[in-house]
């Protein structure tokens, strides 16, 4: 058999070109959703990325690099930036223990919760990582009440991670609205339909801002209040509001506006307490407003 050298060379060249085409993923790569922080710093932004496969330690180190990189995209940014660094990490018996630098304490409560959610959701995709424990310096990370969080998993966080889903659910919400005199709150049960991609905490806030449609009751949320973020982690719902929330309607007590939110959110199975954060302007520092703080359900104000 006579081999045509020219044809053989052409076939080999074509094969090499196909191998070098960008976007062709080899068997030595994995697709992993890296959870960045969205443009406004109010939620997560998952990006599917190709990661070279390796052992657990290699994959974790690679993902730390992704979560610490400068992102050239206006829609999202990495969570571990600026003075915040990962000083150390260990992997033992399925637990990834991470030690952040002390600048972790400079973050707002919402930023801390989003950082932890970003890391946990990203790292738990790695084989060999079943849970993640967080420290800063020698100190364990705590919740809003100062209680150490302990190891966390994807089940520790309830949030809309940007996944497009259209399936609808139906549930009954226990919502608390202001009484007409502005001194108490009263419970209203509402049957609602909502998209499963939307957190129930967010649904609660949407309905609280509307009129209850019940005579003698009204919304306790000042008109124009913007909910900047809602994140639930280990029983604490962190809700960030803009300063408009401080503009109380005439005759309404501050406790009524606070516990309208707190009692309504604490009626959800996943929420035991609520941390309210009033965001300032400019550097987005928490305002000194006598409202920001952690609250539990209060039945003494219910009529």
Given 95, 126, 158, the domain boundary residue is 158
123-171, pLDDT tens digit by residue? Answer: 999 999 999 999 998 899 987 667 788 898 887 776 554 443 346 677 8
135 in the same domain as 60: yes
Both 52 and 105 in one domain: the answer is yes
Of the three residues 158, 191, 206, the one that is the final residue of a domain is 158
For residue 201, the enclosing domain spans: 168-296
Question: For residue 197, what pLDDT band results from cuts at 50, 70 and 90?
Answer: low
Q: Is residue 206 part of a domain?
A: yes
Per residue in 255-296, pLDDT tens?
A: 999 999 999 999 999 899 999 988 764 333 344 457 878 899
pLDDT band at 38 (very low <50, low <70, confident <90, very high): confident
Q: Are residues 119 and 179 located together in one domain of the fold? A: no
14 within some domain:
no
Tell whether 186 and 139 lie within a shared domain.
Answer: no
Q: Is 289 found in the same domain as 193?
A: yes
Task: Specify whether 34 is located in the same domain as 137.
Answer: yes
Residues 152, 172, single domain; the answer is no
HSE-up of residue 113 (Cα within 13 Å, Cβ side): 26
Across 85-112, average pLDDT: 92
Stretch (H or E) spanning 45: strand 44-52
Per-residue b/e over 140-175, b at no fewer than 16 CB within 10 Å? ebebbeeeebeebeeebbbbbbbeeeeeeeeeebeb
Residues 119 and 215 in one domain: no
Q: Is the pLDDT of residue 1 over 80?
A: no
In a domain, 77, yes or no: yes
What is the number of domains present in the chain?
A: 2
Residue 3 included in any domain: no
Same domain, 174 and 286: yes
pLDDT at 101: 94
Q: What is the pLDDT of residue 27?
A: 55
Q: What integer is the mean pLDDT of 106-123?
A: 89
How far is it, in rounded angstroms, from Cα 114 to Cα 161?
Answer: 11
Mean pLDDT for all residues in the chain: 82
Whether residues 228 and 181 share a domain: the answer is yes
Q: Are residues 45 and 151 in the same domain?
A: yes
Q: Are 164 and 156 in contact (CB under 8 A)?
A: no
Is the pTM for the entire model greater than 0.85? Answer: no
Does residue 5 lie within any of the structural domains?
Answer: no
């Amino acid at each position: 058999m006579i081999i045509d050298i020219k044809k053989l060379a052409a076939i080999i060249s074509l094969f090499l070109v196909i191998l070098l085409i960008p976007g062709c993923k080899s068997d030595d790569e994995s697709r992993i959703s890296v959870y960045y922080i969205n443009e406004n710093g109010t939620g997560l932004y998952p990006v599917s990325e190709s990661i070279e496969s390796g052992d657990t330690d290699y994959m974790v180190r690679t993902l730390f690099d992704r979560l610490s990189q400068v992102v050239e995209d206006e829609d999202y940014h990495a969570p571990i930036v600026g003075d915040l660094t990962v000083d150390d990490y260990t992997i033992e018996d399925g637990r990834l223990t991470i030690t952040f630098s002390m600048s972790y304490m400079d973050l707002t409560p919402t930023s801390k919760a989003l950082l932890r959610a970003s890391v946990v959701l990203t790292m738990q995709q790695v084989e060999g990582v079943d849970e993640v424990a967080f420290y800063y310096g020698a100190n364990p990370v705590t919740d809003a009440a100062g209680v150490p969080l302990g190891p966390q998993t994807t089940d520790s966080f309830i949030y809309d991670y940007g996944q497009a889903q259209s399936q609808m659910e139906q549930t009954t919400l226990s919502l608390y609205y202001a009484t007409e005199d502005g001194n108490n709150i009263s419970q209203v049960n509402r049957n609602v339909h909502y998209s499963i991609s939307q957190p129930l905490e967010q649904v609660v806030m949407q309905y609280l801002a509307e009129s209850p449609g019940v005579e003698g009751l009204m919304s306790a949320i000042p008109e124009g209040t913007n909910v900047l973020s809602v994140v639930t982690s280990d029983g604490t719902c962190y809700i960030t509001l803009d300063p408009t929330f401080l503009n109380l309607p005439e005759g309404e007590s501050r406790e009524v506006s606070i516990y309208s939110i707190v009692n309504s959110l604490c009626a959800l199975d996943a929420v035991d307490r609520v941390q309210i954060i009033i965001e300032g302007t400019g550097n987005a520092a928490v305002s000194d407003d006598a409202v920001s703080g952690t609250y539990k359900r209060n039945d003494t104000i219910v009529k």
